C-alpha cells in the first residue's frame, strides 16, 4: 500500500542546517582539499553532458527561470556575506590573479599597435580591435579551445 513520506517543514530543516553546519568547518577543512582532483576529473568527463545541455532548445528559458526573482537574494547576500568576505577573498587570490593574468600580460607587452590618430579616426578603433582580437585568441588558447 502506498504511503506518504514524512518530511519536516522547510523552516525546521533550514534551522537545523543553520545550527549544525557551521560546526562542520573542521570536516570541510579536512575533506575539501582532497576533493579537488576528483572534481576536476569529473568536470572533464562532463564535457559531453555540458554540450548536450547547452544544445537544449529550452536552455535560455531554463537560464532565465534560474535567475528570475533572485535580485533580492543577491542584494541580501552581498550585504550580509559578500562585503565581509571581499577583502580577505582578494588577499587570498593575489597569486591566482597574477597566474591568470600572466599569459595576457605577455600578449599585451609584445603587441605593436599603430599610432593614434585624431579623435574619432578609424585607426583608433583599429587599435582596440587589434588588442581585443589578440586577447581573444590567447583566451581560446589558454582554454584549449583554439581554432
pTM of the model: 0.67
Q: Are 130 and 113 in contact (CB under 8 A)?
A: yes
Residue bearing cell 587599435? 127
Q: Are 94 and 113 in contact (CB under 8 A)?
A: no
Q: How far apart are CA 114 and CA 112, in angstroms?
A: 7
- In a structure prediction context, what are the per-residue pLDDT tens digits for the chain, which is 147 residues long? 899 888 999 999 999 999 999 999 999 999 888 899 999 999 999 999 999 999 999 999 999 999 999 999 999 999 999 999 999 999 999 999 999 999 999 999 999 998 999 999 999 999 999 999 999 999 999 998 865
Amino acid at each position: 500500500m502506498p504511503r506518504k513520506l514524512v518530511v519536516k517543514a522547510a523552516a525546521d530543516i533550514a534551522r537545523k542546517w543553520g545550527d549544525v553546519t557551521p560546526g562542520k568547518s573542521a570536516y570541510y577543512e579536512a575533506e575539501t582539499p582532497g576533493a579537488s582532483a576528483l572534481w576536476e576529473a569529473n568536470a572533464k568527463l562532463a564535457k559531453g553532458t555540458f554540450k548536450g545541455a547547452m544544445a537544449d532548445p529550452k536552455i535560455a528559458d531554463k537560464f532565465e527561470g534560474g535567475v528570475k526573482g533572485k535580485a533580492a537574494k543577491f542584494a541580501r547576500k552581498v550585504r550580509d556575506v559578500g562585503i565581509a568576505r571581499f577583502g580577505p577573498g582578494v588577499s587570498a587570490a593575489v597569486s591566482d590573479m597574477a597566474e591568470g593574468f600572466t599569459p595576457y600580460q605577455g600578449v599585451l607587452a609584445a603587441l605593436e599597435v599603430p599610432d593614434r590618430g585624431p579623435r574619432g579616426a578609424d585607426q583608433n578603433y583599429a587599435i582596440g580591435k587589434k588588442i581585443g582580437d589578440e586577447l581573444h585568441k590567447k583566451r581560446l588558447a589558454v582554454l584549449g579551445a583554439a581554432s
